[in-house]
Amino acid sequence: MTGARVPLADQDAAGWMVGRDGFDPGRMGHRETVFTIGNGNLSLRGTFEEGHPQETAGSFMHRVWDDLDVHATELANLPRWWGLDLWLDDRRVRYEDAAGGRRTLDLRTGLLRRAFDWPVAAGADLKVRHERFISLVEPYGAMLRTTVELTAGVADLRVRVGASVHVENTGRLHWRLVGQSAGEDGVTLVAVTRGTGIPIGVVVRPRLSASADLTPGDADGQPALDYRLTLRAGEPVEIIRSVGIVPAIDTAVPLNAAREVSDRLDTMGWSAALTASSEAWAQVWADCDVEIDGDPEAQLSVRYNLFQLNAAAPRFTEDASIGAKTLSGYGYRHHVFWDTESFMLPVFTFTQPDVARNMLAYRCRRLAGARAKAAAAGRSGAQFPWESAGTGAEVTPPWIEAAAGSGARMRVWSGDLEVHITADIALAVVQYWTVTGDDAFVRDQGAEVILDGARFWASLARADADGSFHLRDVVGPDEYHEHVDDNAYTNLLAAWHLRTADRVLAWLERTAPERAGRLSADLGIGPEERRRWAQVADHLAPPRIRDRVLEQFAGYFDRDDVDAARLRNPARQLSMQVLLGAEGVQRTQTVKQPDVLMLAFQLPDLFDAESLAANYHYYDPRTDHEQGSSLGPAVSSVIAARAGDPAAAYAQFLRAARADLDDVRGNASDGIHGASAGGLWQAVVLGFAGLRITDDGWTVEPRLPATWQRLRFAFRLRGVRQIVELRNDH
Amino acid sequence: MTGARVPLADQDAAGWMVGRDGFDPGRMGHRETVFTIGNGNLSLRGTFEEGHPQETAGSFMHRVWDDLDVHATELANLPRWWGLDLWLDDRRVRYEDAAGGRRTLDLRTGLLRRAFDWPVAAGADLKVRHERFISLVEPYGAMLRTTVELTAGVADLRVRVGASVHVENTGRLHWRLVGQSAGEDGVTLVAVTRGTGIPIGVVVRPRLSASADLTPGDADGQPALDYRLTLRAGEPVEIIRSVGIVPAIDTAVPLNAAREVSDRLDTMGWSAALTASSEAWAQVWADCDVEIDGDPEAQLSVRYNLFQLNAAAPRFTEDASIGAKTLSGYGYRHHVFWDTESFMLPVFTFTQPDVARNMLAYRCRRLAGARAKAAAAGRSGAQFPWESAGTGAEVTPPWIEAAAGSGARMRVWSGDLEVHITADIALAVVQYWTVTGDDAFVRDQGAEVILDGARFWASLARADADGSFHLRDVVGPDEYHEHVDDNAYTNLLAAWHLRTADRVLAWLERTAPERAGRLSADLGIGPEERRRWAQVADHLAPPRIRDRVLEQFAGYFDRDDVDAARLRNPARQLSMQVLLGAEGVQRTQTVKQPDVLMLAFQLPDLFDAESLAANYHYYDPRTDHEQGSSLGPAVSSVIAARAGDPAAAYAQFLRAARADLDDVRGNASDGIHGASAGGLWQAVVLGFAGLRITDDGWTVEPRLPATWQRLRFAFRLRGVRQIVELRNDH
């Protein structure tokens, strides 16, 4: 095995194309998720241009939140800008009536293509090709191209291009129509969100390669242009649409702004606009690509997951972050969880620090929401919400329906008790600082998050008579166990957070005394508060340790051992929580995801090699890998690699790699598993390559899977590009 | 004062027309409710033909339920069948741009008319008149007529007629499009409910009085026909639409059935179809009209409320009843409460027993749901749900949002604890039996409800060591007080129910021994069960009585007295529950609606004159008449009349009379207050006229308001029409 730093080479298309054949009604939602494209601001699921009655169509834009009630805030599915319908001799052309057909997503450029042959008559087909991309250089712009060609004969072609306000978020409506038009230069639509009152302007500007009779349509909410022409064999017709869709957030007259975007794209034309976007994607890939030789599935899936993270990562704003299901579906209503900082953010911290800074700034700019949450619970400082959306207020639903249609409600405790997210965010700031050296960000924004978070921990911890401090009635990363005391992960992260805050404030006093003084005054941090931090950090109940194994929470070791036969039964289709019941599973040591191992993932220096191995061997067999949290496998992979269990590391890696492409959990139609996608990169870079940042640089400790001949990736350390190339020299 | 039985005379239009002038955007929702029309199966709110961005459009049909989740089942707002748009010289004609305008609802015929002059140019107007009715002889049919006329000049007229699946239930979607068409003989639409899978067919068949160019429109979900013609002054144009809208409940191919309805109406033509429907309405009015001379407001409002009850009353099916907000809005999601049996049903029991029987049959056919509810709580027999919809399962939401946008949830206890509804339904059956003498119904359906309800009470009551029985932790009619023990209303109704069940079974054994035997066997009612009924009835804790006043529940007298200054403050805009908090109000004697007085309303024989007066004078001043329950005023009016307080009786009568026409509670946009509407009739007939059914006939004890010169109404006693005419001979 060798490690070397050489420039990234070009790749052939083989490792870059995600393809799926034919129309599969049973996998429609899954494939809509898989074929999501986006530019870090605007996204579009792999929904058909012509729609489908069973579709779960979706196009989302950062910051375009709307409320139903306060816990149901979500990004509003945008007015339909991608619709195009074809009729041949008055028969409507639909994908499901075609013979075969194939969809391909080119990860290099974000170009999605769907091509199929639609039977016209004996010996004649209509060849249809739909292509689309969302421009990486136009935050509010996209283009679509449709090409149709008859293989024989002549027929009347009708093409309908339009926009529509008749869209939904899985049965809920977010838009009210304001205005619409349809004319030779395109269709326009203005709508406004019902709850938040955000107007949006849509312009769809079509261009046909042939002359056609044009009829505008003005059905309410559905402005359209109808083109009719005679199609002859061998004379293909191309319809190119340039789309601008702009909310009134950064602009006052969104329709004008949308018009400018669509005009710009129309003037450039398809090829030039696609080239400009592709060049921007090439830069993204130069920054973050991972090359794996010898394992095509690993190669494609790592790139696919990176593509989806980049499609959603807020590239153009500090007021958005990546939701649990990225920008690709309706799951968790686009809310931002710890998934973002602990699983997805490291990808950007290491490869695209500007994007990482946007994501952290999203949190920093929502300190008011975090303070309101702390204050509402009678605590000091800033407690970040378990689920965060537009305003930064807590938006975790306190109750959810236990199972669809059951009528039974289930209390969701995470918004109340899963407090560790405040330390997770502080840790993400410090990781970002360590990797980038971005002192200015920490001074101007990050420090305040860390310091006010420390105040929260100091006010949350309760002292016992013996001088020990405790965090009681919490939920740790393992959500199978609720209402636990002194969760090891939470306590040790909180102690780390308190000590770090003191160090950050000392650093600030040294390097930016004025800022330090103002922050201390604003937050009310005096010597007494800092003594309290130290006191709580030093006396926050440490976990019981048995044979080097940390007890996950007080009393965990006393719970019933797991039913290994049941847990490891390969035929099991339900989570252990469903099988044993929410209360039943709590009585056992079964964990939804590795909780103590997550601590080793977050604060690796707390564990020496023997301790890591002991904890791995204890907790891994107690984890519901298959039906527990989708956050688990990537972490398990990293820890298994470090603990010297390469077969398990690779098996867990594959589980994460397949989460969305193969829909192993059956819920990919809800959207990309963002944490799994981010964890996958970490499994490769921190697990198999064993990358570690040191005081004076970085080291790797490669443990490549046996089939991997070569692994190569790039990252940035304090502004300087680093290339890592590892080879397996068996 | 005299009482006489004479035939009903014709009325002039004055007491029959509800009119409102002009366009008032602030009252749009209220007026949509006020101008609701219906035929006991299909309804339509007073929504404009051309729509409006702020409208709360709604058209509902009995039995067309759809689910979001199980507690959110509601009647799906039907695909838009009433839409028509006008353009003059390409300018869209909208009511809000017109000068003046007036809407009138003719209560005699159910014809709604909207007429306005829309300014075209200096000296020229477009006179527009829209008319609509839902046929009382075609359960699934309606007609609409639009007449336009230029007062001067010539202009291009465009008329768009169509149907649309793009409708909503206040932000929620219930339909999926199945198919659509638009051609010379009209537009069609087929859609299916998303949760319950009920297909519906819509046919809108237009007929123009002038020739026009016709263009069909096929925007998805919005089939339309566009007519263009030249309009000249003095040459009015009329567009008549015949509509059929049929769900696949009684028919397999709903589109064919809808086509037949629209064809039938189209063939009859506007005048003949309106005449046929009006004749049916005339029969309804012959059955139920109330004439009041000397008080035009009382006259019109009593008729208006009767109209709205008749518009919603299930005339054509035994599988529907009237929801709390009739068929006129989204409030309470069309669920059926005790409001129906205790407030609305008596109107029909007395005036249209066939309709009353349908409504009771709705309950009888849902015994399975009532048994499931009892069984789920570990009880025997049949416990009717507090909120009932399509299946008869309990559909009360266990939690609701405390205030819109607050994010706080409030526990709704009525589904768990407001048990009295089971006795209310039994009482309604007995009242129906008493008035109609319909032995067959009781034998075949009603007895089972009464008997299985008795089993529920016998299993619910808990015995104390002293031999007394108790119903603890309940909510009575006064919902300000939750979790109370031995609510007087509930206990005395339950005891009545248990004794009645025994008598009903004895009657059945005597008159239909076979049916009695089978029912007893099926329900498991042996001698032991009947002894238990008697035992519980005899020992169910009676209320404490102080100075003839019954204590509302155990310990009520010990609660703080009301803050009379605050309660009676005329400037108060919030309910006492909101002012004092849900817990604060429970600590006082403030009641949402008269609870003990409701007992006197339901079981008048329990109270002698002195006792009634004592309870009235105690509880009436403790009632939140203004902001408490809308069920209260009519009951208060009846009791005040009986207790000899005519001024109070009339004031309460007016409060009920104005609930919807004047929107005194500010929530009429959610729909008609059905219980208030039914209570209003009872205030007149049982209160002011003092009608009582006796063993050998009926008596009146008139206490007419001073301004009423004459009161006249009809009812049926055991199949025989009775006319009551009372005069005030001051």
Q: Which residues of B touch A70 (CB under 8 A)?
A: 405-407
Residue with tokens 């421009």: A135
> Distance, in angstroms, between A172 CA and closest chain B CA?
5
Cross-chain CB nearest to B405 (options A70, A177, A178): A70
> Distance, in angstroms, between B82 CA and closest chain A CA?
15
Find how far residue B322's CA is from the centre of its chain. Answer: 5
Q: Which stretch of DSSP H or E encloses residue B646?
A: helix B646-661
Q: Which residues of B touch A217 (CB under 8 A)?
A: 217, 219
State the ipTM, two decimals. 0.89
Q: Which residues of B touch A404 (CB under 8 A)?
A: 69
As to burial, measured by CB atoms within 10 angstroms (0-12 exposed, 13-18 middle, 19+ buried), residue A557 is: middle
Q: How far is it, in rounded angstroms, from Cα B531 to Cα B517? A: 17
Pairs across A and B, CB distance < 8 A: 63
Parallel, antiparallel or unpaired: strands A186-193 and A409-411: unpaired
Please report the pLDDT score of residue B7 as a whole number.
35
At a CB cut-off of 8 Å and minimum separation 6, what does B269 contact? B240
* Distinct helix (H) and strand (E) counts, chain B: 23, 30
Q: Is B58 left (phi over 0), alpha (psi -120 to 50) or beta?
A: beta
Contact A84, A146 (CB under 8 A): yes
Q: How far is it, in rounded angstroms, from Cα A669 to Cα A28? A: 8
Contact B70 A219 (CB under 8 A): no
Q: Which residues of B touch A406 (CB under 8 A)?
A: 70
Alpha helices in B233-295 (DSSP H): 254-268, 270-288
Residue with tokens 């009645």: B500
Contact B70 A398 (CB under 8 A): no
Find the residue in A nearest to B172 (Cα).
A172
Cross-chain CB nearest to B68 (options A53, A171, A221): A171
Contact B471, B458 (CB under 8 A): no
Cβ-based neighbour number of residue B15 at 10 Å: 18
Which amino acid, residue B215? T
Q: Which residues of A touch B168 (CB under 8 A)?
A: 173
Contact B160, B85 (CB under 8 A): yes
Contact B172 A176 (CB under 8 A): no
Find how far residue A77's CA is from the centre of its chain. Answer: 17
A224: contact with B, CB 8 A cutoff: yes
Q: Which residues of A touch B178 (CB under 8 A)?
A: 53
Find how far residue B657's CA is from the centre of its chain. Answer: 14
3-state secondary structure of B313: coil
Contact A217 B217 (CB under 8 A): yes
Q: What is the DSSP letter of B286?
A: H
Selected for mutation to probe chain B from A49, A52, A178, A218 (highest B CB count within 10 Å) is: A218
Q: How far is it, in rounded angstroms, from Cα B83 to Cα B97? A: 18
B166: contact with A, CB 8 A cutoff: yes
- SS3 annotation, B460-489: HCEECCCCCEECCCECCCCCCCCCECCCHH
A72: contact with B, CB 8 A cutoff: no
Cross-chain CB nearest to B224 (options A53, A164, A219): A219
Cβ-based neighbour number of residue A261 at 10 Å: 23
Q: How far is it, in rounded angstroms, from Cα B258 to Cα B59? A: 16
pLDDT at A9 over 70: no
pLDDT at A132 over 70: yes
Cross-chain CB nearest to A69 (options B69, B178, B401): B401
A617: contact with B, CB 8 A cutoff: no
Q: Which stretch of DSSP H or E encloses residue B651?
A: helix B646-661
Q: How far is it, in rounded angstroms, from Cα A495 to Cα A537? A: 4
A221: contact with B, CB 8 A cutoff: yes
Cβ-based neighbour number of residue B561 at 10 Å: 11
Q: Which residues of A touch B70 (CB under 8 A)?
A: 405-407
CA atoms within 13 A on the CB side of B432: 32
C-alpha triplet B465, B377, B451: angle, nearest 5°: 80
Q: How far is it, in rounded angstroms, from Cα B599 to Cα B481? A: 16
Contact B20, B660 (CB under 8 A): no
At a CB cut-off of 8 Å and minimum separation 6, what does B310 contact? B40, B284, B288
Contact A119, A143 (CB under 8 A): no
Contact A612, A598 (CB under 8 A): no
C-alpha triplet A305, A309, A310: angle, nearest 5°: 115
Lowest-confidence region among A94-103, A676-685, B163-172: A94-103
pLDDT at A3 over 50: no
Closest-CA residue to B24 (of B12, B32, B36, B16): B32
B220: contact with A, CB 8 A cutoff: yes
Which residues face B491 on adjacent strands?
none
Closest-CA residue to B693 (of B593, B605, B596, B617): B605
In this predicted model, what pLDDT tens digit does every residue of A202-255 receive, in sequence order?
999 999 999 999 999 999 999 999 999 999 999 999 999 999 999 999 898 999
At a CB cut-off of 8 Å and minimum separation 6, what does A267 contact? none
Q: Which residues of B touch A79 (CB under 8 A)?
A: none
Q: How far is it, in rounded angstroms, from Cα A691 to Cα A130? A: 42
Contact A166 B220 (CB under 8 A): yes
Q: How far is it, in rounded angstroms, from Cα B523 to Cα B531? A: 15
Q: Which residues of B touch A401 (CB under 8 A)?
A: 69
Parallel, antiparallel or unpaired: strands A186-193 and A99-106: unpaired
Q: Which stretch of DSSP H or E encloses residue A99?
A: strand A99-106
Find the residue in A nearest to B69 (Cα).
A405
* Sign of the C-alpha dihedral computed for residues A48, A51, A57 and A60 taken in this order: positive
B53: contact with A, CB 8 A cutoff: yes
Closest-CA residue to B600 (of B579, B618, B587, B577): B618
Cβ-based neighbour number of residue B286 at 10 Å: 13
Closest-CA residue to A42 (of A191, A263, A245, A239): A245
B407: contact with A, CB 8 A cutoff: yes
Q: Which residues of B touch A173 (CB under 8 A)?
A: 168, 171-173
Contact A515, A440 (CB under 8 A): no
Contact B387, B413 (CB under 8 A): no
Q: Which residues of B touch A51 (CB under 8 A)?
A: 220
pLDDT at A564 over 90: no
Contact B171 A194 (CB under 8 A): yes
B168: contact with A, CB 8 A cutoff: yes
Contact A658, A664 (CB under 8 A): yes
Which residues face A57 on adjacent strands?
none
In this predicted model, what pLDDT tens digit does every residue of A326-339 receive, in sequence order?
999 999 999 999 99
Selected for mutation to probe chain A from B176, B218, B401 (highest A CB count within 10 Å) is: B218
Q: How far is it, in rounded angstroms, from Cα A113 to Cα B715? A: 73
B92: contact with A, CB 8 A cutoff: no
Retrieve residue B480's tokens: 């300000």
Find the residue in B nearest to A194 (Cα).
B171
Q: Which residues of A touch B51 (CB under 8 A)?
A: 220
Selected for mutation to probe chain A from B220, B330, B391, B396 (highest A CB count within 10 Å) is: B220
Which residues face A91 on adjacent strands?
A88
At a CB cut-off of 8 Å and minimum separation 6, what does B340 contact? B321, B322, B323, B324, B359, B674, B675
Find the residue in A nearest to B160 (Cα).
A219
pLDDT per 10-residue tile (average), chain B, 730 residues: 37 84 93 98 98 95 86 92 97 91 97 96 92 98 98 97 97 96 96 96 98 96 98 97 97 96 98 98 97 97 98 97 97 96 98 98 98 96 97 88 66 92 98 98 98 98 97 96 97 98 98 97 97 98 96 96 89 88 91 94 96 96 91 94 94 95 92 97 97 95 95 97 90
Contact B308, B177 (CB under 8 A): no
Helix orientation angle between B296-312 and B674-682, rounded to the nearest 10 degrees: 130
Find the residue in A nearest to B219 (Cα).
A219
Cβ-based neighbour number of residue B570 at 10 Å: 5
Residue with tokens 């329906």: A401
Q: How far is it, in rounded angstroms, from Cα A235 to Cα B360? A: 70
Contact B245, B139 (CB under 8 A): no
**What separation in angstroms does the CA of A535 have from each of A457, A463, A531?**
12, 10, 6
Retrieve residue A183's tokens: 């004319």
Q: Which residues of B touch A166 (CB under 8 A)?
A: 166, 220-221
Contact B168 A171 (CB under 8 A): no
Contact B171 A177 (CB under 8 A): no
Q: How far is it, in rounded angstroms, from Cα B263 to Cα B188? A: 13
Contact A216, A224 (CB under 8 A): yes
Q: Which residues of B touch A71 (CB under 8 A)?
A: 407
Contact A224 B220 (CB under 8 A): no
3-state secondary structure of B570: coil
Q: How far is it, in rounded angstroms, from Cα B153 to Cα B21? A: 27
In this predicted model, what pLDDT tens digit does every residue of A478-505 receive, in sequence order?
999 999 999 999 999 999 999 999 999 9
> Distance, in angstroms, between A69 CA and closest chain B CA?
5
> Distance, in angstroms, between B219 CA and closest chain A CA?
6
Q: How far is it, in rounded angstroms, from Cα A581 to Cα A575? A: 10
Please report the pLDDT score of residue B136 as a whole number.
98
Closest-CA residue to A168 (of A90, A53, A248): A53
